Structure 1
Amino acid sequence: MNRLTFALTLLAAPFIAAPACADDYLAFHSPSGNIQCAISTGDYAQVRCDMASLTPTYRKAPADCEFDWGSSFAVDAGGKGYLACVSDAVADPGGVELGYGKSITLGPFTCTSEKSGMECTNPGGHGFKLSKAKQSLF
């Protein structure tokens, strides 16, 4: 290996292996990979989770939603959980796996992964609980 290749490899290595985590952002997913989530604590602090496969509990999209609806759930730092009308996805190939029985906290948000699904809450106790069979907002 020549010196230039070696130097570029050393410079790139930390970025290739780095998890999807920063002081104000964290991406993670359920062990099955069906639920993909991201927590951000910047100016628009929220936790959002997208589901790849589900039997939707909420079926009728609002008239003003022109994008995907029914499989993305979010909660802000001070409000109740809600369905998000989205044109993107939070799936991040660098996201960490949140094992069953484990919780993760960033800023004001906590998410817990169980075999029965994923629950995310804000400090007021509001949020959402997701499973393939049922989704609830509170």
Structure 2
Amino acid sequence: MKLSSLFAACLLSAATLAAPGRAEDYLGFQSPTGNIQCGLYRWSGGASVRCDLAQLTPSYTRAPADCEFDWGSSFAVDDRGKGYLACVSDAVGDPSNGVLPYGEAVSLGGISCVSARTGMTCTNAEGHGFTISKAKQKVF
């Protein structure tokens, strides 16, 4: 799947506002509905993606171990290891994030995210990650 040049321009524009360093180190994007907001980033030690849901029917009812912040609506995966329920004190949402159209994908640092009418799926090269939608969330 190919990233459209218009979408790429939006991502690069958002990236320059969202993170220090080179623009290709951060990609902010959202689902066409805007319910799922994601930040895909690379740093010297690896790469990660995190997606937040604005509205959802929670699939998880227990907080991550030692979590003192918000949980249940943010999901993440690093370039190695399994996807996980994130414990967060911030948000990756930004109204200026580009829209990742259904059927399109974006990749950075060995992590890929695909937008579909059924939700967003992000995976690393090991095949681990998460699939999220308003109705259901799953980490693997």
- Band of TM-score, shorter chain: 0.7 to 0.9
Normalising by the residue count of structure 1, what TM-score does the alignment of the two structures yield?
A: 0.83
Give unmatched runs, 5+ long, in structure 2.
1-11, 16-22
Partner of 2:59: 57
Partner of 2:4: none
* CA positional deviation for 1:92: 1.9
Normalising by the residue count of structure 2, what TM-score does the alignment of the two structures yield?
A: 0.82
| 1:24-63 paired onto structure 2 within 5 Å | 24-42=25-43, 43=45, 45-62=47-64
Residue 28 of structure 2 contacts residue 97 of structure 2 at CA under 8 Å; is this kept in 1? yes
* CA positional deviation for 1:60: 1.5
Aligned pair partner of 1:19 in 2, 13, 29: 13
* CA positional deviation for 1:27: 0.2
Alignment deviations for residues 76-130 of structure 1 (CA, whole Å, 9 cap, x no partner): 0011000110000001232110011111111211100000000000000100000
Secondary structure class of the residue paired with 2:32? coil
* CA positional deviation for 1:63: 5.5
Secondary structure class of the residue paired with 1:23? helix
| 1:1-138 paired onto structure 2 within 5 Å | 19-21=13-15, 22-42=23-43, 43=45, 45-62=47-64, 64-138=66-140
Secondary structure class of the residue paired with 1:111? strand
User: Aligned pair in 2 of structure 1 residues 66, 77: CA closer, same or farther (>3 Å)?
Assistant: same
Q: How many residues align?
A: 121
User: Aligned pair in 2 of structure 1 residues 62, 41: CA closer, same or farther (>3 Å)?
Assistant: closer
Structure 1 residue runs of 4 or more that deviate by more than 3 Å after TM superposition = none
* CA positional deviation for 1:66: 1.4
- Across the aligned residues of Structure 1 and Structure 2, the Cα RMSD in angstroms comes to 1.3
| Equivalent-residue separation in structure 2 for 1:82 and 1:70 (angstroms) | 10
The structure with more radius of gyration: 1
| Equivalent-residue separation in structure 2 for 1:63 and 1:119 (angstroms) | 24
